[in-house]
Amino acid sequence: MGIVSFVSKATRRLGLWFLAAGVTLAVLFTAVLIYKLTVFEPDPPVAANCQSLQLIATADGAAEIHVYDCQRGNSGNSWHGFEVWLFEPKANDWLRIATAEQGPCLTISWQRDGELVIHHGHSRGALNIAKSSVVYDDANGRPATISVTTKREEKECPL
């Protein structure tokens, strides 16, 4: 009777442990699924109401960095501002680098090969950097990296 009782209690505890683990995993899975379905990832600028302001390309031409002036949303809930995007012509792939509400200026330049500088006249909180570095395939198909830095301009942004 003692061994049967012990095995019964141990089985019950083990079953409750597996049940708790299953519930925990189900809650985590549901949370990740809800996050993935509701996270805001805007359409590429070519599919939205955006006007191109500036374009610079990497030395090998494998990637382009674009600055757009975009109007998103409907009349009751709209947003107007700047967006910086990386475009890989070979893969026809867009990747958002930064966004900023409409402000004094926003331009881009190369500091050196592989280092992009975003010149802006915004306050620190008004510029949202989505990616501090981006990876793209160069002209030879090998991965290359562009690091992103920002520089606040007190007067006017350089072109």
Give mean pLDDT, residues 55-60: 94
Residue 50 sits in the same domain as residue 112: yes
Residue 14 sits in the same domain as residue 53: no
Residue 82 sits in the same domain as residue 119: yes
Residue 100 sits in the same domain as residue 136: yes
What percentage of the chain reaches a pLDDT higher than 90? 49
Residue 82 sits in the same domain as residue 121: yes
Q: pLDDT tens-digit profile of 15-37?
A: 889 999 999 999 999 988 887 77
Residue 23 sits in the same domain as residue 55: no
Location of structure tokens 């805007």: 42
Parent domain of 18: 1-39
- Record the pTM: 0.73
Query: Would you state the pLDDT for residue 122?
Result: 82
Q: What is the torsional sign of CA 98, 102, 103, 107?
A: positive
Give mean pLDDT, residues 132-154: 92
Q: pLDDT tens-digit profile of 103-125?
A: 888 999 999 889 999 999 888 77
Q: For the chain, how many structural domains are there in total?
A: 2
